[in-house]
Amino acid sequence: MTDTEANPKNVLIARRCAEIGYFGLIVLILCWQIWLSPHPHVNPTVTAILWLIPLIFPLKGMIKANPYTHAWSSFVACLYVTHALVQFYTEPAERYLAAVEFILVSMWLVGSIFYARWRGRQLGLGLKKKKPQGKG
């Protein structure tokens, strides 16, 4: 681990970046689906709840700053990256919302990756190295 990675300040910055992205995404989804651009043919509250369900799973670990949760929550973030890019491409009227979603998800994704890596190293967590196999 380099000195830069071991710096507790960098770990805190990565965590804050992930938190801002994650919790900002929750707020954005609520505002987007209920007030800013609700779908005319679907109940906006139901739509908002459906979009929030995947975000419930990492909630406890994100609050407790669990590096393992930050690591696997990246897979959940990929769903929202895809949504943001599709919305940006297909819905010109909602491009600004899709751009904000993409920025928030990117903050969550990048912050979580670095937080999981650096905090995991601080705690001595990680994958075990495979023992080299002998010849023959």
Query: Residue 133 domain-assigned?
Result: no
Query: Residue 63 domain-assigned?
Result: yes
Query: Residue 132 domain-assigned?
Result: no
Look at residues 86, 77, 87, 80 and name the one whose alpha carbon lies nearest to residue 116: 77
| Residues spanned by the domain of 66 | 3-123
CB atoms inside a 10 Å sphere around CB 46: 11
Query: Residue 128 domain-assigned?
Result: no
Number of domains in the chain: 1
Query: Residue 94 domain-assigned?
Result: yes
Query: Residue 134 domain-assigned?
Result: no
Above pLDDT 90, what percent of the chain? Answer: 79
Query: Residue 111 domain-assigned?
Result: yes
Look at residues 133, 114, 127, 125 and name the one whose alpha carbon lies nearest to residue 5: 114
pLDDT, average across residues 102-108:
98
What interhelical angle do 8-31 and 95-123 show, nearest 10?
150
pTM: 0.87
How confident is the model over 83-102, as pLDDT tens digits?
999 999 999 999 999 999 99
